[in-house]
Structure 1
Amino acid sequence: MTTELRVLQPSEWDKWFSSLELAFGGVQESAEQRELEQSLTECERSIGIWDGDDVVATAGAFSFRVAVPGGALVPAAGVTMVSVASTHRRRGLLTAMMRRQLDDVRALGEPIAVLTASEPAIYGRFGYGAATRQMSLTIDTDRVRLSVPEGTDAVRLRHARKDEAVAACESVYARLVPGRPGTPAHGPGWERKPLTDPASSRGGGSVLQCVLAERDGEVVGYTNYHIKPEWEMSGPKGRIVVSDLAALDPMAYAALWQFLFGIDLTSTVEARNRPADDAVLHLVSDVRRCDIRLRDSLHVRLVDVGAALEARTYRGPLDVVFEVEDTFCPWNTGRWRLIVDAKGGASCGRTEDAADLALSVRELGSAYLGGEALGSLALAGRVRELRAGAVAEVSSAFLSDVAPWLPRGF
């Protein structure tokens, strides 16, 4: 059969999104969630493949700016809503959409594309590398105690209504964006997403609750969570499921965790998406009882190697030539010279000089936000050292002072 790849028209959104739902198991979103997804969809950046009247593949992109080491916000395509119908697998449809999408990203002048992968093995062949990790914790609050900094008790906590919490939470989030590589700065409408609370997503828990942390009348932190009541013969064993927690200073941060630990009728706090270097690890009395797990989160694809490497800062002076392999976006293939001055500012352009390191664009994507060390990739055989000492020199310069993190999915 003949298929057609084309840009999504607004009138086709319902059919397009229903095809996406079917590809992910057929569970329909709530009316509230569906309305929000439609309002956020950038139809001009969304594509589909039609087989007659049927949508058999989907892909979209959001126009983000993503924080990189140094605090700059780099234009990025937030790749999303990618699916292929089970009836049309192994026909090259995904490759066709990735080809069209990356060509469009390049034409728009966005240096990078980012995504979260339902199946990470899929996207490496298109040049995406896992660049951030998320940590999950399940903390036994009957046995674990917190040691909080002086001044924590001065933070005022209060429950907030959903309509009030939206603006307050987004204000805190926006102030934190530049300080954590991997964090997207969102446009209008995105402030609603973290507080959307369909009953189907609660897993038997309460409605989403929000507590704000305040000092001198200013909101300096917040947490959003569900409570899942559980009982045993010996008494209550409720669970707190944290969906979001952020604060502008250590005292507000500690006060929010202290509040969660102290909620009546509960004995477990579960947080499913925290940064790999979350400060809570230094507040708890017994990290072994926090059941820590790590997994990949944000995957990064350098669409314009030179522009992307120039957009971030580095930890020290550097003069290195990369031999880059990029079979899917061949305009990146070749040698690039990255020169970093004493202040961390960078320039990067084509060169004919001898290469110091050889790697694919996927490895550059993994290391780009400063969380994955090029030295570790070299030990795995994915980076080749062509000049003695180059791996250690470049790996150190690329690292971020804080672990990159994607606080909210898209």
Structure 2
Amino acid sequence: MLFEKFVAKTKSWWHEYFIEVTKAQSEGRLFTNGKVTLYPTMIIFTKFSKHYTAELVGASPTYNELKIKIHTERSIHRYLNQFDEKYEKPLFQLDSGLMGFRLFTISTNHQAQLLKERFPNIDLYKSHMAASFDADCLFGFGDNFTYTCIENSILVNKRENFYRIKNILAMYIVASKISTNQLEGLYNWTTEEGCVKGVHTVDDSEIVKTTVAQFQSMYLQPKLRETTIGEFINSHPEIVKLAFNASRFEYEPSLKWLEHDGTCEDTYINPDLIIENIYGEWDIYDLKTALLDKTRLTKDERNRRRFVDYVSEGIAQLANYREYFRYEKNKAHAFEKYGITITDPKMVLVVGSWENFDKSEVLQASRSLDKKIEIIDYDTFAQLIISGATALARSPVTQ
């Protein structure tokens, strides 16, 4: 099957399916045992040399048409273990037709429970399968493999002292040789039991943790585009509001340069996020990636400490946005188009993770920066979401 046909068939099938689910929900025919139903917001499709994957991602209380994202990755093993292409000693060797995994935490080691501080959803599934040998990946694929599904499960991979967690709502892995009938058979088999698939069913208290788990899986995916991470954030506005005390925000606002010093050749600026906090002040955020291929965000010794180029580019973008708002015509345009009022904004760069964000080194490299520029990593972003939810729950206003 051509990859383009796989994308079209999969999107159509799941869209029609979720329309039926929402109809059942509105008519009172969806039994949830008092729990909340959260729908995916996008499908990430990935093409490999011999396989295709479709992964449902997101956690929204309402269903809207799924956004399509195409991810580029050279190896299905790297996609699943989030480190490299090793697959000599898999925990499971898949070499047949239909099979599936559901409600499991699956890991290449026995350390999963030690990760709760960083990954609060790690203990969501009580059934835990771990390798008793030195597995270098979770899944291997033989020549006879046709298709499989992984539903409501967590994959845990480790390389040295680094971990990658993949919280999977629903992922479908197929051989590229799959036929149309086989693909439809996979999706029909998945849902034939009368149990609704492709959605989260959680307690009220687990909504934020579930969303954060999906977010972490996004930014810990190697080579995932900045725009895909940004689209996830835009589709889940609550995480921005909880993390940054935001009353509202604009995602990728398009602002025309109406005034400058004569040297500007750009026509527009498109910041990732411009956020109004609860005090009525507007701040500017630029979203990069977790930079998973780097062990450090800085380079050189202490006396010459500076950021790697990728981080410096993000800082330069923020400086450009700040310059835009130094001109009155530009500020007036932003107010007329979006209601944005910016005078002296805080500028925040989100980049890196706990694995490569060394606070002391970042502070040393920041010595020459404007004090209004702040750099945080994605794991800190995730923790801020949970902290914001906790603070909101304790607020007298919400009690």
TM-score by length of 1: 0.29
Judging by fraction of residues, say which structure has more strand. 1
TM-score by length of 2: 0.29
Q: Whose relative contact order is higher, 1 or 2, with alpha carbons under 8 Å and at least 6 apart?
A: 1
